[in-house]
Amino acid sequence: MAAVLREIEAEVQRRKHLVHQSAERKAIISQCYKRKHSEVYTLQDSFLAPGFLEIVRYCTSPDANLHGLLRYTESFSDKRIFRLPVFTEEFCQAFIEELENFEQSDMPKGRPNSMNNYGVLLNELGMDESFITPLREKYLRPITALLYPDLGGACLDSHKAFVVKYSLHEDLDLSSHYDNAEVTLNVSLGKDFTEGNLYFGDFRQDPSPVPSYIEVEHVGTQGLLHRGGQIHGALPIASGERWNLIIWMRSSAIRNQLCPMCNQKPQLVEAEGFGDGFTETCEEDVPETVDLCSVW
């Protein structure tokens, strides 16, 4: 028991220092890194697939509804998993070249998360404000408002964005887990690879004695939207190399009430940037009315 407690305390201390270490890396990268494709750092409509822009136009139209939106997406089982086009092939190629350029540089690099060893934290690379935030606010939120109203889809107000890399001599797969997010977007950027399907089980709060899994193929330039609490993982790739863009989108209106990782009222400590997507609310400031975007 003492050994377990020491291990837990070490992990707690590690996580407490993550934000400051990330800020230090970001400052060094901003000053010293020489970009290969500077244009990919600022979101442009030309990066987005025509089908994706059509979906956004529909979702922002006055008569948009869930039934109409489902005509534009591919859904899987009853697990509320949706595939949709996101980027153009030209953008994905340029983006991967930029990521490889950064990977081959001598810049400091942080792990994307506690499970993936290879990839890039996009806020450290300098893509949060000019790319990921407008993507979430202008393009993704109209879609998630219709698909996930019960998870705060209309008020996803923060995110964590990173790219993960799978290859034969590095990370091959990803074990079952759920995300620290209300809604996750997972986009396959490329390159050439075989196998490596994603698999999805039950929502973590659904009682189920025997998990029921489905496999979903990851298609280049296309993305999968799913609930962060959906149990999922990635099967091993058999050849090649795959890069995935992951955006964990969070709604403070939802998670301020209950932490999605421990299912308890969150006890908050101050953090820089988005932190884990919680916001501090004084007791006297709590409204008596219901926040519609969290239950609509």
For the chain, 296 residues long, the average pLDDT of each consecutive 10-residue run is: 81 70 92 97 98 98 96 91 97 96 91 64 94 98 97 95 76 67 94 77 64 83 94 79 92 90 80 79 44 42
Query: Under DSSP, is residue 232 helix (H, G, I), strand (E, B) or coil?
Result: strand
- CA–CA dist 216, 49 (Å, integer): 21
> How many other CB atoms are found less than 10 A from the CB of residue 167?
16
> 41 — phi, psi (to 5°)?
-80, -15
Q: Tell me which DSSP letter residue 220 carries.
A: B
For 168-236, strand residue ranges (E) read: 174-177, 183-190, 193-195, 198-203, 214-216, 222-227, 230-234
Whole-model pTM: value is 0.86
Residue 167: which domain range? 32-250
Could you tell me the two tokens for 92? 């994905």
Of 249, 246, 240, 195, give the one whose Cα is nearest residue 218. 195
Could you tell me if residue 89 is inside a domain?
yes
Note whether 183 and 288 are same-domain residues: no
pLDDT of residue 289: 44
pLDDT at position 172 is 43
Residue 48 has what DSSP assignment? B
Q: Are 98 and 36 in contact (CB under 8 A)?
A: yes
169, 290: one domain: no
217, part of any domain: yes
| 76 bridge partner residues | 81
Regarding whether 221 and 196 lie in a shared domain, the answer is yes
Cα distance between residue 221 and residue 189, in whole Å: 5
Based on the domain organization, do 161 and 288 belong to the same domain?
Answer: no
DSSP notation for 111-144 = -SSSS--SEEEHHHHT-IIIIIHHIIIIIIHHHH
Q: How far apart are CA 117 and CA 178, in angstroms?
A: 17
CATH number for position 85: 2.60.120.620
Q: Are residues 214 and 260 in the same domain?
A: no
What is the H or E stretch that residue 36 is in? none
Number of domains the chain is built from: 2
pLDDT of 150 reads: 95
